[in-house]
Amino acid sequence: MKSNLKKLAHNGIALVAPITVPYQRKTDKPASYFIGSALREILRSASLEKEMCDGLLVSSFSLAPDTVASLAEAFDMCLNWAEQVPLGGASGVIGLRRAARSIEVGDADIIACIGGDTFIPEEFSNLLGRFSNCSIDGVNPYASGGANLSFALLTRAYMEAFNISREDFGKLCILQRGNARRYRNALFKESLSLETYLGARVVAEPLGLFDCVMPCAGAEGFLMMREVKAMELGLPYALLRASGERHNASNPVDMPFSFGWKDFKDNLYDACEISPEEIDIVQVYDDYPVMALLQLEELGFCAVGQAAHRLSGSGLIHGGKTIHVNTSGGQLSSGQAGFAGGFLGLVEAVRQLTGSALGNQFTHVKRALVSGFGMINYDRGLCAAAAILESAENEC
């Protein structure tokens, strides 16, 4: 099935006021607390009255039975536009796409986009066990391994297919931890050695403790508006240049090593009139190291099975330069605050592009690629999304 994937470009859409509600390992607060706290901090950061925000987009694993409508009341907002994206780690980029199109056609002026979750261990296990009907019937009876089971299977198959070692995954985890050490909000800031990585508790072979994200509570969010509005308000912003998504695109029979990004990546770069080597930073969805590597490969930075061999310093060597990867340390260092994990890369990209990183600012950051991945229904994740953002100074 071929989709019309040509129209991936966006014009004059700005991302403003990137906010992280610091992650917590323990809490008794509900999801609405974290989402609302993000909204408060976003408005404060942009010096904006709540009434000026006429759209609200949320993604949350633990908000149910409440919805974005409940939040409109909880936050006393009268909205022109409300949206809820239930697509896990793809929610951030896909939410951004929905919000951008709605602003482009004039359905909303200023949209707050927030991913946020609470983390209460007993409820978390129940939620994971009921992730989909197929997982209830076809995965959960196999010792209730959750996502660790699916990604252990994928990781081993990837290692065998491309001759990748645990040390190779360790390189990525250590690289991201290096970035996290300078990021103010990271839950894990201590240096990670290869020895510690390899010697960690086994979760599901070949996955060890440092291959798995720490579930926690928190939120990530930002505002979206027209570029002219951001300029009028005098707010620093990053521009959305192009975005795409693809669902259920992998080969259904074998163990999948591609999930849909390759189907639209050329259109994505074409829409910005750039090639991958003109990207300065990449924020890939890192629920497990194997997914981070597969995204780098499928998005065109190297051939499949090669990403681990290209890692160096703070990122990936491509086209004679280092493309910085997961500059805040990703979820592997910051923790996974539920669906906020799908917004973490966007928030960090906007910070890097506006020169407002929280401790790990890279220089000469003009373009960022952010990808999201989500929703294991049965034996594989289904939703792949990516967006290219640009610093405002870079505009022609």
Residues at the interface with other proteins (CB under 8 A): 125, 128-130, 133-134, 136-146, 148-149, 152-154, 156-157, 160, 201-207, 252-255, 378-379
Smallest gap from residue 162 Cβ to other proteins (A):
12
Instruction: Please work out, in degrees rounded to the nearest 5, the angle formed at the alpha carbon of residue 270 by the alpha carbons of 265 and 276.
Output: 60
- Return the number of the residue (12 or 145) whose C-beta is nearest other proteins: 145
Instruction: Please work out, in degrees rounded to the nearest 5, the angle formed at the alpha carbon of residue 79 by the alpha carbons of 76 and 84.
Output: 95
- Return the number of the residue (19 or 149) whose C-beta is nearest other proteins: 149
Q: Are 19 and 343 in contact (CB under 8 A)?
A: no
d(CA 168, CA 290) in angstroms, rounded, equals 10
Smallest gap from residue 214 Cβ to other proteins (A):
13
Smallest gap from residue 153 Cβ to other proteins (A):
4
- Return the number of the residue (67 or 133) whose C-beta is nearest other proteins: 133
d(CA 224, CA 129) in angstroms, rounded, equals 34
- Return the number of the residue (2 or 201) whose C-beta is nearest other proteins: 201
- Return the number of the residue (168 or 211) whose C-beta is nearest other proteins: 211
d(CA 359, CA 156) in angstroms, rounded, equals 35
- Return the number of the residue (125 or 394) whose C-beta is nearest other proteins: 125
State phi, psi for 23 to the nearest 5 degrees: -75, 150
The residues, any chain, with a CB within 8 Å of residue 143's CB and separated by 6 or more, are 149
Smallest gap from residue 125 Cβ to other proteins (A):
4
Q: Are 99 and 224 in contact (CB under 8 A)?
A: yes
- Quick one: how far is CA 59 from the chain centroid? 12
Bridge partners of 221, per DSSP, are: 19, 114
Structure tokens given for 183: 């990021």
Smallest gap from residue 260 Cβ to other proteins (A):
18
Smallest gap from residue 206 Cβ to other proteins (A):
8
- Return the number of the residue (140 or 371) whose C-beta is nearest other proteins: 140
Radius of gyration of the chain (CA): 19
Smallest gap from residue 24 Cβ to other proteins (A):
21
Q: Are 356 and 370 in contact (CB under 8 A)?
A: no
3-state secondary structure 312-359: ECCEEEECCEEEEECCCCHHHHHCECHHHHHHHHHHHHHHHHCCCCCC
Smallest gap from residue 269 Cβ to other proteins (A):
32
- Return the number of the residue (27 or 377) whose C-beta is nearest other proteins: 377
Kindly give the pairing relationship between strand 55-59 and strand 81-84. Answer: parallel
Any idea which residue has 């996974």 for tokens?
336
d(CA 23, CA 181) in angstroms, rounded, equals 15
Smallest gap from residue 190 Cβ to other proteins (A):
22
Smallest gap from residue 172 Cβ to other proteins (A):
20
- Return the number of the residue (158 or 343) whose C-beta is nearest other proteins: 158
- Return the number of the residue (166 or 226) whose C-beta is nearest other proteins: 166
